[in-house]
Amino acid sequence: MKCRAVLLAGAGVVWAAAIVFGARTLLTYENTPGAPGDPPQQWPAASRVARPNGRFTLVMLSHPDCPCTRASLAGLEALIARTQGRLAVFILFGKPAAHEADIRSSDLWKQASGIPGVTPLYDDDSQEVARFRGHVSGQTMLYDPTGRLVFSGGLTSARGHQGPNAGADAVLRLVNESTRVPYTTPVFGCALHDPGTRPIREDPAWKQ
């Protein structure tokens, strides 16, 4: 009996340690940002995105299979509702070696298409990703009416996290209060250059 009790106690310690380790790993993962983008300070002249004159233009780069980007799109929808039509918004979807039809049929494309004021665009061969120099899905850039970059970063505070965040607050200040101090925030998402043939599974299994 004593031996059994010792074994059970030992198993309990191991189990508790595994839980703590798993929770710490998960927390670290969710709060580790991706590689920051290096978008051009002026709107890229070669871009095929038609930037409207006299309005702020927001561009988000998205991988169609990144589950983290669901939260970015939700944050964007909430943001647009508070900018009173002052934003022109484009979401560029691209995936290496993917067919346009597959991208357009993705859940994220459909989610983006349902947001009022958003124009989703197919980024053929990730050409716009190269022009805007992004690395992570969810990378967002805000250009002022003159075409000058005033914000670069993400619209979430962690991977898959919805709710208030520094990125959305910065964009709101820039658009609604006419401040022009450039602002950057971390980006949480999947690699834009992932060519995987299956959907990326960035989220832990228990969140699927």
pLDDT digits over 44-88, tens only?
999 999 999 889 999 999 999 999 999 999 999 999 999 988 999
Q: Output the pTM of the full model.
A: 0.79
Q: Is the model's pLDDT at 120 over the cut of 70?
A: yes
Q: Is the model's pLDDT at 172 over the cut of 90?
A: yes
| Contact present, 158 and 33 (Cβ < 8 Å) | no
Q: Which two tokens stand for residue 133?
A: 């120099």
* H/E stretch holding 106: none
Q: What pLDDT is recorded for position 148?
A: 96
* Least confident segment among 39-43, 130-134, 157-161, 191-195: 157-161
Q: Residue 75 burial by CB count (10 A; 0-12/13-18/19+): exposed, middle or buried?
A: buried
pLDDT bin (cut points 50, 70, 90) of residue 20 is very low
Q: Is the model's pLDDT at 183 over the cut of 80?
A: yes
% of residues, the chain, pLDDT over 70: 76
Q: What pLDDT is recorded for position 197?
A: 54
Q: What pLDDT is recorded for position 107?
A: 96
Backbone angles phi, psi at 120, to 5 degrees: -80, 140
Return all residues near 141 (Cβ < 8 A) that are at least 6 apart.
37, 39, 58, 59, 60, 132, 134, 149, 151, 152
Q: Is the model's pLDDT at 38 over the cut of 80?
A: yes
Q: What pLDDT is recorded for position 10?
A: 55
Q: What pLDDT is recorded for position 26?
A: 35
Q: Which residue has the higher pLDDT, 182 or 107?
A: 107
pLDDT bin (cut points 50, 70, 90) of residue 138 is very high
pLDDT of 189-200, one tens digit each? Answer: 999 987 665 554
Q: Is the model's pLDDT at 110 over the cut of 90?
A: yes
